[in-house]
């Protein structure tokens, strides 16, 4: 008898769910409403059994160290901006500053390498095994260095790998470049 009651309750809940789906989507057919209900149920079940992932909050010490790294290249009296953000859906750290003079490619690569070393040191000290790479954009009155990283392998993998491939393909010219990462090149294969 209890089993029969359980089945009736489940069927009643399914019918109620279909009714609600039909209310929200009056022009949708029964099969479309059923698919939407199934997707909604899957989302609820997944949310119940998975833990919410919270992004890492970088220390101000890292931001201050990054400012110190680029300060010899920065114009006197100008701010050095350091921000954790997303670019094209990929998480990254951005360091932006006004250079003292037009920087050569070698200088850009040197300061980008110093920023990358500083970030990687931070990641190692904090036990964060994230894949990462760095690149720069430069103009007459600005330089921006990005360190892209893959914090969560499931969520960030596709955007990180496509960002690296796009960076490798774009890296032509004096105003944009990246530091080649042989480990990533090997891991991602032919780029």
- Cα–Cα distance between 27 and 87 in angstroms, integer? 38
Q: What is the pLDDT of residue 145?
A: 95
- For residue 54, tell me if it sits in a domain: no
Alpha carbon distance 80, 75 (integer Å): 9
Tens-digit pLDDT profile for residues 76-133: 999 999 999 998 889 999 999 999 988 888 899 999 999 999 999 999 999 988 999 9
Same domain, 23 and 115: no
What is the predicted pLDDT for the residue at 11?
82
Total number of domains constituting the chain: 2
What are the distances in angstroms from CA 47 to CA 18, 24, 40, 44? 20, 22, 11, 5
Q: Are 165 and 135 in contact (CB under 8 A)?
A: no
Q: How many CA atoms within 13 Å lie on the side-chain side of 125?
A: 10
Do 40 and 103 reside in the same domain of the chain?
A: no
CATH number (domain holding residue 110):
3.30.565
Domain span at residue 115? 60-188
Is the pLDDT score of 54 beyond 90? no
Write down how long the chain is. Answer: 191
CB neighbours of residue 167 within 10 Å: 21
Query: Could you tell me if residue 117 is inside a domain?
Result: yes
pLDDT per position as a tens digit, 124-178: 999 988 999 999 999 888 999 999 999 887 888 888 988 888 888 876 666 777 7
User: Are 87 and 94 in contact, with CB atoms under 8 Å apart?
Assistant: yes
Q: Are residues 111 and 87 in the same domain?
A: yes
Question: Percent of the chain having pLDDT more than 90?
Answer: 38
Q: What pTM was computed for the model? A: 0.72
Find residue 96's DSSP bridge partners.
Answer: 81, 144
Q: What local confidence, expressed as pLDDT, does residue 68 receive?
A: 94
For the chain, the farthest-separated pair of C-alpha atoms sits apart, in whole angstroms, at 84
The counts of H helices and E strands in the chain are 6, 5
């Amino acid at each position: 008898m209890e089993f029969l009651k359980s089945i009736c309750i489940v069927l009643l809940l399914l019918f109620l769910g279909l009714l609600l789906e039909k209310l929200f989507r009056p022009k949708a057919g029964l099969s479309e409403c059923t698919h939407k209900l199934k997707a909604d149920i899957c989302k609820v079940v997944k949310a119940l059994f998975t833990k919410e992932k919270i992004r890492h909050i970088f220390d101000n010490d890292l931001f201050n160290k990054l400012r110190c790294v680029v300060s010899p290249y920065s114009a006197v009296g100008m701010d050095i901006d350091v921000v954790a953000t997303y670019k094209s859906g990929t998480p990254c750290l951005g360091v932006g500053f006004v250079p003292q003079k037009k920087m050569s490619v070698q200088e850009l690569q040197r300061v980008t390498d110093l920023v990358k070393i500083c970030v990687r040191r931070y990641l190692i000290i904090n036990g964060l095994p994230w894949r990462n790479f760095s690149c720069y954009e430069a103009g007459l009155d600005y330089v921006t260095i990005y360190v892209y990283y893959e914090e969560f392998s499931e969520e960030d993998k596709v955007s990180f790998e496509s960002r690296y491939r796009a960076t490798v393909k774009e890296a032509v010219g004096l105003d944009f470049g990246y530091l080649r990462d042989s480990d990533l090149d090997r891991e991602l294969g032919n780029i």
